[in-house]
Amino acid sequence: MALVLILQLLTLWPLCHTDSAPSVPPASYPKPWLGAQPATVVTPGVNVTLRCRAPQPAWRFALFKSGETDPLLLREVSSELAEFFLEEVTPAQGGSYHCCYGKPDWAPSVWSQPSDALELLVTDSSSSDYTRENLVRLGLAGLVLISLGVLVAFDCRSQNHAPAGVRP
Ligand SMILES: *[C@@H]1O[C@H](CO)[C@@H](O)[C@H](O)[C@H]1NC(C)=O
C-alpha cells in the first residue's frame, strides 16, 4: 500500500519540484525564458550557449534536459541572466531543454516554473538534406507545371485547328 502511494507520488511529481515548498506562490514567480546562441539548429562541433533569463533577479539557475529529473547544469549567479555553455555539441546533445531559477530563501530542491521548452537540433546532414529534398520537390512541381502547360498548349492547338478544318 505504501509502495503504491510512493509510486503515485513519484509519477505526480512535477519536473521542477515546486510543490515541495507550499510557501512559494508559483504565480508570483513567473517562468523564465530560455534561448540559444548562435541558433537552435547547429552543426556538430559548434559551441552553443543557452541563456536563461529570469523575470527578476534570481540566485541560482538550472538547465534541465527533457526526460531527466536532475539538472544537467547549475549556475549560481545573483542576476537575472545565466549562461550555460554546451561546448562542441554532438548530435546526442540535441533534444528538448528547459530552465528554472531558484531564490535564496527557497530550499535547494525548489525551482521556479519551468521555461518553455527549447528544441536544440545538432545535425551535419542543418539542412543540406532539407535543401536537397526541397529541390526535388520544386523539380517535381516544375515538371507537373510543364506537363500541364504542354497539355493546355496541345488542347488550344487542336481547338484552333478544328474550326479551320470545318470551314469550307
Ligand atoms: C569552443 O570553446 C572552446 C573553449 O572555450 C574553444 O577552445 C574552442 O575553440 C571553441 N570551438 C569553436 C568551434 O568555437
pLDDT tens readout for residues 88-125: 999 999 999 999 999 888 888 888 999 999 999 999 86
**Band of pLDDT at residue 13, cut at 50, 70 and 90:** very low
Q: Residue 129 — pLDDT band, cuts 50, 70, 90?
A: low
Statement: residue 49 has pLDDT above 50: yes
User: Strand, helix or coil at 61?
Assistant: strand
What per-residue confidence (pLDDT) applies to 104? 86
Decide which of 148 and 17 is more confident: 148
Taking the C-alpha atoms of residue 137 and residue 149, their distance in angstroms, rounded to an integer, is 18
d(CA 132, ligand 1 centre) in Å: 30
Residue nearest to atom 4 of ligand 1 (CA): 87
* The dihedral formed by the CA atoms of 156, 160, 161 and 163, expressed in degrees to the nearest 10: 140
| Predicted pLDDT of residue 164 | 55
Q: Whose CA is nearest to atom 7 of ligand 1?
A: 87
- Phi and psi at 41, nearest 5°, equal -120, 115
At 64, the amino acid letter reads F
